[in-house]
Amino acid sequence: MKTFYEAATRVQCDAIANWKSSGKPVVGYTCSYTPAEIFYAADILPVRLRGIETGGMEVGDTYFGPFICSFPKCILQLAGKGKFSFLDGAIITPGCDGMRRLDECWRKAGEDYDNIVPDFFYYFDVPHKSENHGMAWFIEEINAMIKQVEKHFGVSITSEKLNAAIKAFNKGRKLLKEIEDLRSRDDVLVSGTDVFAATVAGTVMPRNEYTKALETWVTRLKKRKTSLSKGKKRLMLVGSISDEIDLFEMLESNTDAIVVAENLCFGLRFEGSEIPETGDPIEALATHYLARSVCPRMYGKYKERLATLKEKITQAQVDGVVMQNIRFCDLHGAENSLFERDLEAMGIPCLKVEREYGPLIDIGRMKLRINAYLERIETLKESAAARKALRAG
C-alpha cells in the first residue's frame, strides 16, 4: 500500500519522476473518457490530472472566477504554480462546461505565466450521446488525436500496439474486479480508503509496474482473516469527481462505517468490463469508453445509471448511499437529487451533501452530517428488526 498511497497523494509521484528521468514523455489528461491505452501504445505515460496539493486559489480565481466547480480551478492553480512542469502534453476533455473552460483558461494563463502550457496541448472532444452518429463522431475524434500524437511525438501507433496496450490494461481490470468481489462479502477484508488509493494510483503509474504491485496486493488480501466490516454500516459513495482519499478517510474515521462500493470517475467504475482484445482496437476502445454512459454528462441514460447503482447496492450489501457533489456541479447536483428520490423510495437511506473540492472542504460540517446520517441508518435498522420480531411473534 505504500506505493499506492505515495502515487495517490502526490502530483508528481516517484513513478512519474522515474519515468520522466528515463527520457520518456508524460501526457496528462483530464477525463475518464480519454482512452489512456493510446498513449501507452506510444510508450508515453498517461497521467490523470488532479487538483491535490493546491495551497491557494489566486490563479484559479483570476481566470475562472468564483462561481464554478473548484476541481478545474485547482488544476489551473497547480499549472500556474508550475506543478505540472513535468508534462510534455495535456489533453483537455469537455467532461462538463467547467472542464471545457479549462482549455481556454489554461491557454490564457499561459500568456501571463511562462512555460505553463505544455508543447502538446490538445482538445479532445467527446459527444454527449453514444448512439449512431455519436459513436461515429467519437471514433473520428480518437483517430484525429492519434494522428496528432504521432505527428508531435514522432511515434507510430499501430493496431498491434493498441491491442497490446488493451491487453496490458485488461490485466489490471481483472484484478480490480477481484478486489470489488472481495468487498462484496459479508466479511470485508479491506478498507474503502485502501481500495480507492490503489485505484487512483492506477491513473498515474506505468501500467506494468502498477499491475505487478496490484497482483502482489490482491494475493495478500486473499490471505487476510480479520473482518473490517463486523458491526459497521456498509456505505457506497457516489457523485462528483473525487481523487482525494481524504474523503474516504473521513467516512471511515467513524468506527461505525466502511465504504464497500463507489461510483466515481476515479474509482472502480469500469471494473470487470474488459475491452475486446481482437478486432478493430479503435472501435473496441470507443465502445468501452463511450457506450456505457456512466456519467451524467451523457444524455438520456439516467435509467441505466440508476440500474448500475442498484446492482452495486445489492452486490455489496450496501446499507446507505452517500451522494456528494462539488459546489456548482450542476450535473451531479441534479442527478444526485434524482438518485436520492428513487433510492429512498426503495428503502435505501441516502445522504446528499454539497462540498468544495480537496483542500477547500469543510471537514467539520461534513463530519457532523455524516455522524447524523449513520445514526439514522442505525435507527432504521432497529425499527426493521423490531417489526420483524413482532411479525415472528
State residue 374's pLDDT score: 93
The DSSP letter of residue 393 is -
Q: Do 96 and 34 contact (CB within 8 A), yes or no?
A: no
Percent with pLDDT over 90 in the chain: 83
**Tens digit of each residue's pLDDT (9 = 90 or more) over 83-131:** 999 999 999 999 999 999 999 999 999 999 999 999 999 999 999 999 8
Q: Which residues 6+ apart lie within 8 Å of 337 measured at CB?
A: 352
**Tens digit of each residue's pLDDT (9 = 90 or more) over 13-55:** 999 999 999 999 999 999 999 999 999 999 999 999 999 999 8
| CATH number given to 16-157 | 3.40.50.11890
State residue 161's pLDDT score: 98
310 grid coordinates: 442498484
Q: Which residues pair with 158 in a beta bridge?
A: none
pTM above 0.85?
yes
Q: What residue spans define the domains of the chain?
A: 16-157, 228-392
The DSSP letter of residue 359 is G
Q: Which residues pair with 360 in a beta bridge?
A: none
What are the φ/ψ torsions at residue 152 (nearest 5 degrees)? -70, -45
Please indicate whether the domains covering 16-157 and 228-392 agree at the CATH topology level. yes
Q: How confident is the model at residue 271 (pLDDT cuts 50, 70, 90)?
A: low
Q: Which residues pair with 233 in a beta bridge?
A: 257
Q: How confident is the model at residue 224 (pLDDT cuts 50, 70, 90)?
A: very high
Long-range contacts, stretch 154-160, CB < 8 angstroms, 24+ apart? 155/42, 155/43, 155/44, 156/42, 157/38, 157/41, 157/42, 158/41, 159/280, 159/281, 159/282
- Name the nearest CA neighbour of 288 among 305, 309, 302, 271: 271
182 grid coordinates: 472481495
User: 3-state DSSP helix/strand/coil percent for the chain, to nearest 5?
Assistant: 50, 10, 35
State residue 325's pLDDT score: 94
| CATH number given to 228-392 | 3.40.50.11900
What is each CA distance from 324 to 198, 279, 347, 348, 375, in whole angstroms?
21, 39, 19, 16, 19
What is each CA distance from 30 to 34, 50, 238, in whole angstroms?
8, 8, 19
In angstroms, rounded to a whole number, what is the distance separating the alpha carbons of residues 218 and 374?
30
In angstroms, rounded to a whole number, what is the distance separating the alpha carbons of residues 199 and 8?
8
Strand 26-29: give its sheet, edge to edge.
45-48, 26-29, 89-92, 120-123
State residue 236's pLDDT score: 97
